[in-house]
Chains A and B, each alone.
Chain A
């Protein structure tokens, strides 16, 4: 899959429909969406417009009622465990860090490598690389409770990137942080994705952060309105 930009399409959603409560609440109405390699895309729109739902469908967390989702040319919504299928290709960052509180920063970050069956040596090398970049290398042995909000979200970012995914899906990644920390974490997010050539698709309410992405996708009532004028 390629687009006019000549970069390959890494994520494609075609005519996606999603509803809840036996069709009583329709969240996505025939969404078509493409993301190319290395893009940073902000999904914006009011609450309930379907941003998070679209992210979940793109990452295999949920399945559409109709339509097709492909990641790196693999049609994922027919797979019984798409999350397993995409463990090397997609990373997630959520609004809340979703770290396991009883484990240390190091252990939390290593979880995806356990799922992927990565050797301990390679996993530790990758962990050191990411924690050096995110300024967390001195906190490896600390439990999550001992970390600040920003550190927790940076840990979540490290965890999401541990398996060197080509796509990072972020759902309000700075939504629970104060303005200053939010800016810092987002800068780090952009820096890391740029360095690793990762495609970032981020749902956000923050127009300021969205403006720093290479592409802005506006959603309204379960539909995409693109291109959005600058």
Chain B
């Protein structure tokens, strides 16, 4: 109890300094939480596009980005005939632009694609899709920002397209994107006879290994990965995640420097007090525990405040119409756990030098000048 009071007393003695340190950790935790959660949400949504009613994705081997992947139409037609395959949907990804909107994700798909089947059609009908080369279906948000309605003609890049449907999907990328018949997309992006990926649904999930072996044997230039495998190994996702943690980590590092500064000041301003504790028989471990305890309190408070603040910001982001569906703001327990652990470790690291300094305080020198 007294030990805890000793820790708390010093924090309360310099309230402003303590609050600033807690704020430093809190802002760092907030930044890390928001950045990591938003980017992981984006990764999750992109994965969701690929795994729409499918469990395996086939794409060109050794490409750094799926936009550069070329899967020949022959592969699609061959794979679709394999008995273990329920359906094989080719998808061509592209980026198009319209007035005021330079980046819109375009999906070149077939009429049977799960994206159209599973979406909620707010206007138009799925049966109308791909009847004409200039048909286009817009995601609800894309229709909103393009101010387009059913039957309108929209200018996309160098071509004019006829809106034959508007769909609502849970995925932000799809909701803000547009869907073209595969042949039209191939023509538009000059990728005749190819797609970016094939999404595969098997009759039996247990046949995944066999399927991958068949692809490897028959199409050496292609690779088949199960959805989870793809999410884990896709370099773009890795870069995004690493960037998120690195940026968040830098934030925490700054917070840690704040804690270190506070703790150093804390030790310097109470050398005499530490000397008294030593004279009273405190061990090096007890002195260090006191300093670490102080920084742990700062870190825990900072982490709690940061988590609350971060959660608030994520909810606020969710409410912004322009970001609707783009950011998955659901907090992942693992992310929360990692952020808290990192905040605590930062606090401990920040207290390391001050604790060593405090352990080296020589009572006789500190008390000599009375």
Contact = CB atoms under 8 A, between A and B. Distances in A.
Same complex: yes
B99 interface: no
A103 B269 CA distance: 16
Interface of B: 1-3, 5-6, 9, 12-13, 272-273, 276-284, 286, 362-364, 367, 370
A112 B364 contact: no
Contacts of A120: 1
A137 interface: no
Contact of A159 (B3, B9, B280, B286): B280
Q: Specify the main secondary structure of chain B where it touches its partner.
A: helix
A81 B280 contact: no
A107 B9 CA distance: 11
Contact of A56 (B3, B278, B364): B364
Contacts of B6: 100, 103, 111
Interface of A: 56, 61-62, 81, 83-84, 86-88, 92, 94-96, 98-100, 102-103, 107, 110-112, 114-116, 120, 159, 163
A116 B283 CA distance: 9
Given A103-B9, A107-B2, A114-B3, A98 B277 contact: no
B364 A103 contact: no
Contacts of B286: 114-115
B284 A81 contact: yes
B9 A62 contact: no
Given A102-B9, A103-B9, A110-B2, A92 B364 contact: no
Q: Most A CB atoms within 10 A — which of B12, B281, B284? A: B281
Given A81-B283, A115-B286, A98 B276 contact: yes
Contacts of A115: 277, 280-283, 286
5 contacts: A84-B282, A94-B367, A110-B2, A111-B276, A116-B281
B7 to A, nearest CB: 12
Contacts of A116: 281
B359 to A, nearest CB: 10
Contacts of A107: 2, 5
B364 A95 contact: no
Given A83-B279, A112-B280, A115-B283, A95 B370 contact: yes
A94 B370 contact: yes
B123 to A, nearest CB: 70
Given A100-B9, A103-B9, A114 B2 contact: yes
